Amino acid sequence: MFIWCECKESPVSRGLCGEHREKSSGFPGFSDFLTSGHPGFSLYLCRMKIGFDAKRAYHNGTGLGHYSRTLLQSLAEFYPGNEYYLFNPRPSKLFELNGKNLHEVLPSGLLNRSFPSAWRSSWVKKDLIKQGIDLYHGLSHEIPVGIKKTAIRSVVTIHDLIHERYPAQYSKIDVKIYSKKFRYACEHADRIIAISQQTKQDIIDFYKIPAGKIDICYQSCNPSFCEQVSEEQKALVRKRYKLPKEFFLSVGSIIERKNLLNICKALFLLRNDVDIPLVVIGDGGKYKRQVQDFILQNGLKDKVIFLSDDPLAKSAASFKSAKDFPAIYQLATAMIYPSFFEGFGIPVLEALWSRLPVITSNVACLPEAGGDGAHYVDPRSAEEIATAMKTIYTDRPITAALVEKGWQHAQHFTTHRCATAVMNVYKSIW
């Protein structure tokens, strides 16, 4: 039995590293096996040192953070033979990532600590070299400037190009910065991971990147959403946040694209038919105030609960870290997520895993996330959203069938499948 490895030392010939070359010496005809694909030849992948941009993993409580944490923990669990180095620009008190093969790396030296953004976007290269990193993965749209000069292979995950599609929803300076960073990463990374077919097509259309450079690797969600929360824990969470007996649930930043206003309009249309409130998890600015104005003007103040504004939620570590979210999902009547556009739509997947019926949009990537396990609506139509909410609430056989289909669809997005897809991208360039 021979040993085959894919080491950095010989990435083109796919030969043996020094250690394994020594072990192979003395085997006659070894070079013939390298080209023959002999069935007795076993694959041995040498230990990789993989670096990550871990800013979002340690500091972000929304989609980018959830993606980063779930992927990192999954890689560490299912591919324990590698070492994972998490480059974090500053210490965090919000999130932890634990594992014997997970290593947090903080900036050292006064200059790096004083300018963490510069360290993350460029200066970190010195630390990558110091740690002996073989491959670097920018988990959210960016890679260090000039990383190609280090000979370290790189991968970047692109979640969406919403700033290109809807620039009016961002400041001009943000659009300019995002476009420059995202385009640079796409052009200079060795491989690009798109989290949906929609995102892959956008990368091709907006940045003219060849399709062959882009891999679609769907994301998973925190495994805690897959577990049944005990009745005792659900009762505790209900009491903690004063949740009503029944409620619709909306999760996500309160921005125009997420479409909370049309959900509230649908709630108004249902005021005489379905008398249960809406619980909103998320925060916002100008658009949130617009939604609140509609709520006040139409007598919905008692029907819309902004849970993230609750003083307890603001202070509770279990809310800020989303540890209480699986219980909240399993207490809800349905997830309402009629977004106009998403890179993927992780709350949809979280709801499917939670066996919570989902109402979402029939546009962009959301049918990819929901499959045949979601009820689809035109996000522009408050009437369609209202009809769907009424159907989900009143027609229990339809709802039960939808939940079962949703659960089956969620099996395509297990943490193991998603980690394997990403690992295969790493192997393709290392």
SS3 at position 245: coil
361 and 253 within one domain = yes
Provide the whole-model pTM.
0.83
Alpha-carbon distance of 351 to 35, in angstroms, equals 48
**Distance set, CA 176 to CA 171, 309, 342 (Å):** 9, 32, 20
For residue 94, name the pLDDT band (cuts at 50, 70, 90).
confident
7 and 54 within one domain = no
Report, as an integer, the average pLDDT of 23-44.
40
24 and 92 within one domain = no
Structure tokens at 412: 């395509």
Structure tokens at 21: 């070359």
CB 315 within 8 A of CB 219: no
CB 349 within 8 A of CB 413: yes
Residue 39: partners with Cβ closer than 8 Å, 6 or more residues away: none
47 secondary structure, DSSP code: P
Report, as an integer, the average pLDDT of 261-281.
96
70 and 30 within one domain = no
CA angle 42, 44, 45 (to 5 degrees): 150
* Residue 86, phi then psi, degrees to nearest 5: -105, 105
SS3 at position 89: coil
Residue 400: partners with Cβ closer than 8 Å, 6 or more residues away: none
347 and 255 within one domain = yes
242 and 156 within one domain = no
Strands of the 102-105 sheet, one edge to the other: 102-105, 83-87, 49-53, 135-138, 153-158, 191-194, 214-216
CB atoms within 10 A of CB 201: 15
245 and 114 within one domain = no
Report, as an integer, the average pLDDT of 310-334.
94
pLDDT tens for 124-179 read 999 999 999 999 999 999 999 999 999 999 999 999 999 999 998 889 999 999 99
Question: Considering the chain, what percentage of its residues have pLDDT values greater than 70?
Answer: 89
How many domains does the structure of the chain reveal? 3
The H-or-E segment that residue 42 falls in is strand 41-43
pLDDT tens for 150-159 read 999 999 999 9
Q: Is the dihedral of CA 252, 171, 196, 366 positive or negative?
A: positive
285 and 186 within one domain = no
330 and 185 within one domain = no
73 and 117 within one domain = yes
What is the residue range of 376's domain?
Answer: 224-413
229 and 209 within one domain = no
CATH number, residue 181: 3.40.50.2000
419 and 409 within one domain = no
Instruction: Please determine, for residue 315, whether its predicted confidence score (pLDDT) is greater than 70.
Output: yes
* Residue 13, phi then psi, degrees to nearest 5: -80, -15
